[in-house]
Chain A
Amino acid sequence: MTPQLVVFFVLAALAVGGALSLIFQKHPIHSALSLIVVMVSLAGLYLLMGAEFVAAVQIIVYGGAIMVLFVFVIMLLNAGVEEHTSISKFAGFPGLLLAFALTGFIAATIARSTDSVQAVAQPGNMASTRDLSTMIFRDFVYPFELTSFLILVAVLGAIVLAQREKA
């Protein structure tokens, strides 16, 4: 076992454990905390693969900004322990089935594309931050701009919805 493999298994266990705990925790804050653990251990996995920039951005955007908003809203609404209705119990069965189907689908896709996965995992193929930015701002600049436009529209929509009625 190389040290890299040991670190990988620790981070992978943390990520999976965090994801399971996210589902099984009763309190929304605990679920949010579990999600943060998942995000941070994913960032650790990226770091292990040499993708320093993606790892840092993963923590800044997902671990920091987005999850802080989650925690903030949960605190602000003072949400309590989740409640179960009779329907939510029935919803568990199809949910479980769908989860298995999704896992199988992803596993099958990964198994079929072994070559390309290994090509990405080669240590020589490290994309620097410069390569990444060239890709985003030159090759994929239109999709990128379109996405930011979409986000802008969403922000405007949120402002319009949140605005108080003028008397």
Chain B
Amino acid sequence: MIEGAAWRRWVFFRIPTGIFLILLLFPFYWMIITTFRPDGELYRPWRAANYTPFWTWNPTTAHLKYLFGETSFMLWMWNTMFIAVVATAISLFCGVLAGYALSRLKFSGAGLLGTLIFVTYLVPQTLLFIPLSDIIRGYRIGDTPWALILTYPTFLIPFCTWLMMGYFKAIPKELEECARIDGASRFQAMLYIVLPVAVPGILSALIFAFTLSWNEFIYALVFLSSPEQKTVPVGVVSELIRGDVFFWGPLMAGALLGSIPVAIVYSFFVEHYVSGLTGSVKG
């Protein structure tokens, strides 16, 4: 608490926080404004006398029309959503089961496997993308969503596993023991008792995996080539830039609309996202 005069609250809290918020959110505001700004205003140099950055008096939907009309934007949205949902589902399935096995079952090699999975999280995609592109082509899934659906789990699963391990560890083992005495097999105890209690953790892992899927770029860039197969980030980069010419209006429109689905889903799960984040750093 900041005690004392109101001015202290303003100087030490409200103003700094306000400045942080403005700096963090301004680019999004810029995205919105640019999307609806007509080209004439858009391409006005900043030195020009009538440069009005923060507002436009002639909003237009021309850029949006271009985006939907001249590019496969809706297809990209569909692709990205489809890939994100399926990859998230796969990663959750694997991560929840793996997290359970590593945190609640005793077997030789548990420690080693746990470390191994943690280590794979530290191998960045930018290290693997060249050999992986070859492998993907070898399996004949290049230029299909499956190239991404099967490779995204490689960085989603380790994180989900680690997250779930933390949540599982907090569930008292007496619950499972009681279930097993009551007549449940180990598997049934996991399914009916432990997993339902771990639902908050599962939701955290879900929203994390979903946002990370949308954010992935290099695999999508390297593995997909046809315009209809592309995801939103790749599509926006490759189809709205011709050589050196940037179509800024539609570009911003694409950037804005591409960000909205993630932001919306995220807004339903903010609490879970935050607790997932905090859970993962508290180890």
Partners in one complex: no
Q: What is B's interface to A at a CB cutoff of 8 Å?
A: none
